[in-house]
Structure 1
Amino acid sequence: MWRIPQEPRPDRRERARALGFSFAEIAGEPYWDESAAYHFTAAEVDVLDDVTAELESLCRAAVDHAVRWNRREVLGLGEAAWALAAASWRKGEPSLYGRMDLRWDGSGPPLLLEYNADTPTALFEAAVVQWEWLRCTWPEMDQFNAIHEALLAAWPAMRLPGRVHFCCARDSDEDRGTVDYLRDTAAQAGLEVPFLFMDEIGWNGRGFRDLGERPVEAGFKLYPWDWLIREEFGGLLPGGTRWIEPAWRMIPASKGFLALLWEMFPGHPNLLPAFLGPGRSGGREIGKPFWGREGANLRLPDGTETPGPYGEQPRVWQGWAELPEFGGRFPVLGSWLVAGRPCGLGIREDDTPLTRDSSRFVPHAFTPAGEISAA
């Protein structure tokens, strides 16, 4: 694994627009970054694939344990949220997608930093944008990226009604772009795919309805469950609707889940020590709010805390594994799963060891097996 500086394509902005990539720049700064690419060997891609599958197996075992033994307090879930999550797991409601964030530099075992199991973003750029870049820039190379094909295959297997409403909050180009991409994959799979903002979902006394008074029988929501259950209609959930992601995804989405994983699988080579109290990891550690996002309110090993709105939440304390540095940049490897199976990789990097909402997405490629890299 290494980072290769690249000359960005002069027409990259026009190409982004043609793909419908409306958030290639965020707040006037580039988010999609073609000034470098990460290169892997085929063997390294196999490692990422295998480790992601292994971690998914551990996670599902831990979810099942949590439900069987009512471990809701470890996860920071209230009684109402827990009832929804446990019922969803017992029903066997299928998951569509998720993203595991890994720390790896190409040597040693990849380490799980956290599991974005409820509302992962960076999907469109991983599935589509970096693939278009590869075909134009390194056509002789390959990419760990079967995300699009996996989504097309996953929708029919989810046993959904013929119409699925797609929903997100207003005022986020990234969320809307992710939802629109998923709508496109569902439409290609033969589903009807109307869009709603979250505040446009209504209730008629019997179930959730759209603006045309049609029932929301199935709904994809890029809106976290921990927010959803606090809404005015939270007490009505599920309200006769099949939600995607299903409510049981609250369990692995909680950072407290990291402590449960370590409790169940202590010393596993792909896990970091994690506990519900500080000072137990045997070294430097980072405190993560249970429901924090985008690097907010992290308690760092030097005692400082990043800004954000989650400072009053309980924390999990995870062993500190500083991100590897490649030419002054620090990458996080986002390993994607669709229908519970590994299918692709997206990389975000920053000029600090913390991944934030301003971190950039960079493409990757690998040398097909049996070929020698000229890079």
Structure 2
Amino acid sequence: MRRLYGTARLGWQAAVEAEGLVYNRTEVPGADPVSYWREDVFYDFSTTEIDTLFSATQQLFAACVEAGDRIVASDELLQRMRVPRDCWDVVRRDWEAEPPSVYGRFDLSWGGEQSGELPKLLEFNADTPTSLVESAVSQWSWHLETGNGLDQWNRLDEALIEAWTRNLRLWELRNGRKPHVHLAWTSEDRSGEDQMTVAYMADCVRRAGYEFTVMTTEQIQLDPGDAYFYDAEGRHLDVVFKLYPWEWLAEDAFGPSVVADLRRGGGTTWVEPVYKMLWSNKGLLPVLWQLFEHDSVLSRYLLPAYFADDPARLDLVTTGYATKPLLGREGANVELRAPRSGELLAEAGGRYGAGGRVWQQLHPLPDFAGPDGPHHPVLGTWVVDGHPEGMGIRESDGLITDNLSHFAPHTIDHHVREARRP
């Protein structure tokens, strides 16, 4: 695993924007806007390293399934993870029913084979992961146009079409008709990232052979007569891909109606399903550690983790630790503490600090330093329909990957292609 420099393509800014990356300009407080997309920098992996990441992703997903079984069977865990009590029955029902689910993203820390260890799980973005357009589309175009590397671990576009096709055909078989798919994003997002993620997913639905409508979550309407959900044109919402977290939806004014609709069945099918509340919650981390601490294989991919009210968390004082809110995004409200002294190494502000927290053993991100300073990558490995299908990399200057991070493309075996050039 190496961080390499390349040559920028002419007109690359317009190219990535045309592909949907309209949120490329990142506003930095007190400074000029910077590019989110790294055009002339990339990470190169060996084939063996990609195999390691594939295996890690595959085994972690299987571990999350076992963890889900443990959580739904335990009122105590559901309570400790702050899953709303009104949702327990529908979460349990959906977990057993396995309704349509399309994608998720593991965030892993790894410095490659040279690090002498295996990838470590930082968290699972299972409900509303973004950085999808840049992972599936922009970095693949970059690879083809620059000729960097022999290949790229990136089968995301094909896999997403296949996932929508399989899941919607199952819906069709169960309901006796083809669904109309709605895809929704909240107008509260001003960056354009959510809107473009939804637009890309809509294109995958189109290529899967289904009709669709793109809308905002604010346009979803509840009929007070039959208590079903409709769009502004009066069309019933059969299947909705919602780029809106379940914990937000559960707290909204429509939340009780959504839960009631799920409870009675035959209403709207939500993608991702409500059981993703179990996986998008950082409480998943201590459950995984409790299950697999002594597993000779899976323990190598995990960091010790505990709920903040578990006395065992104090074992992490000697190693250093991160504290994370149960429900948080983009590194918000994360704190990193130094071994033994507990000195604050890094922190990020945000609006998620009031809920429960978990402690996770400190595992500083690797540093691929350059002339412009440190670069700490997080490897986002994508699971589509339960299968590992690709990777996207975000790198930050600091130890917490936040909303000021950059996206860097990747290649496989760049040195082999370089050796073949005349």
Q: Tell me which interval the TM-score lies in, with the shorter structure as reference length.
A: over 0.9
Select 1:340's aligned residue among 386, 400, 407: 386
Contact 2:148-2:417 at 8 Å conserved across structures: no
1:117 aligns with 2:122: no
1:152 aligns with 2:161: yes
Query: Partner letter of residue 250 of structure 1?
Result: M
What is aligned with 1:310? 352
1:86 aligns with 2:110: no
Select 1:244's aligned residue among 252, 261, 271: 271
The 1:305/1:358 distance shift into structure 2, 3 A limit, reads closer
What is aligned with 1:352? 398
**How many angstroms apart in 1 are the aligned matches of 2:18 and 2:97?**
41
What is aligned with 2:314? 279
1:211 aligns with 2:232: yes
Query: Partner letter of residue 361 of structure 2?
Result: G
Give the helix-richer structure, 1 or 2.
2
What is aligned with 1:20? 20
User: 1:285-319 CA deviation, whole Å, 9 max, x = no partner?
Assistant: 01000001111111220336421111211100000
The 1:326/1:305 distance shift into structure 2, 3 A limit, reads closer
**How many angstroms apart in 2 are the aligned matches of 1:337 and 1:152?**
13
Once the 2 structures are TM-superposed, how far is the Cα of residue 139 of structure 1 from its aligned partner? 5.6
1:198 aligns with 2:198: no
The 1:275/1:140 distance shift into structure 2, 3 A limit, reads closer
What is aligned with 1:224? 245
What is aligned with 1:163? 180
**How many angstroms apart in 2 are the aligned matches of 1:17 and 1:306?**
29
Contact 2:334-2:400 at 8 Å conserved across structures: no
What is aligned with 1:77? 83
Query: Partner letter of residue 147 of structure 1?
Result: L
Alignment of 1:170-185 (within 5 A): 170=187, 171-185=190-204
1-10 or 338-347, larger mean C-alpha shift = 1-10
Q: 4+ residue stretches of structure 1 with deviation over 3 A?
A: 371-375
**How many angstroms apart in 1 are the aligned matches of 2:230 and 2:275?**
23
Contact 1:168-1:179 at 8 Å conserved across structures: yes
What is aligned with 2:407? 361
What is aligned with 2:336? 300
**How many angstroms apart in 2 are the aligned matches of 1:57 and 1:306?**
31
What is aligned with 2:45? 40
**How many angstroms apart in 2 are the aligned matches of 1:234 and 1:214?**
20
Select 1:60's aligned residue among 49, 65, 70: 65
1:262 aligns with 2:282: no
What is aligned with 2:175? none
**How many angstroms apart in 1 are the aligned matches of 2:378 and 2:386?**
20
Query: Partner letter of residue 36 of structure 2?
Result: Y
For the residue of structure 2 that corresponds to 1:294, the secondary structure is coil
For the residue of structure 2 that corresponds to 1:144, the secondary structure is coil
- Count of residues in correspondence between the two structures: 374
What is aligned with 1:4? 4
Contact 2:81-2:356 at 8 Å conserved across structures: no
Query: Partner letter of residue 219 of structure 1?
Result: V
The TM-score with structure 2 as length reference comes to 0.85
Contact 2:148-2:414 at 8 Å conserved across structures: no
Query: Partner letter of residue 131 of structure 2?
Result: A
71-80 or 43-52, larger mean C-alpha shift = 71-80
**How many angstroms apart in 2 are the aligned matches of 1:331 and 1:305?**
17
Once the 2 structures are TM-superposed, how far is the Cα of residue 362 of structure 1 from its aligned partner? 0.5
For the residue of structure 2 that corresponds to 1:101, the secondary structure is strand
Query: Partner letter of residue 11 of structure 1?
Result: G
What is aligned with 2:34? 29
Instruction: Report sequence identity in percent.
Output: 37
User: 1:328-364 CA deviation, whole Å, 9 max, x = no partner?
Assistant: 2000000001001000000000111110011000100
Query: Partner letter of residue 273 of structure 1?
Result: P
For the residue of structure 2 that corresponds to 1:237, the secondary structure is helix
1:325 aligns with 2:374: no
The TM-score with structure 1 as length reference comes to 0.96
Query: Partner letter of residue 279 of structure 2?
Result: P
The 1:368/1:308 distance shift into structure 2, 3 A limit, reads closer
For the residue of structure 1 that corresponds to 2:284, the secondary structure is helix
Once the 2 structures are TM-superposed, how far is the Cα of residue 46 of structure 1 from its aligned partner? 0.5
For the residue of structure 2 that corresponds to 1:279, the secondary structure is helix
Contact 1:42-1:368 at 8 Å conserved across structures: no
Select 1:104's aligned residue among 107, 110, 113: 110
**How many angstroms apart in 1 are the aligned matches of 2:63 and 2:104?**
15
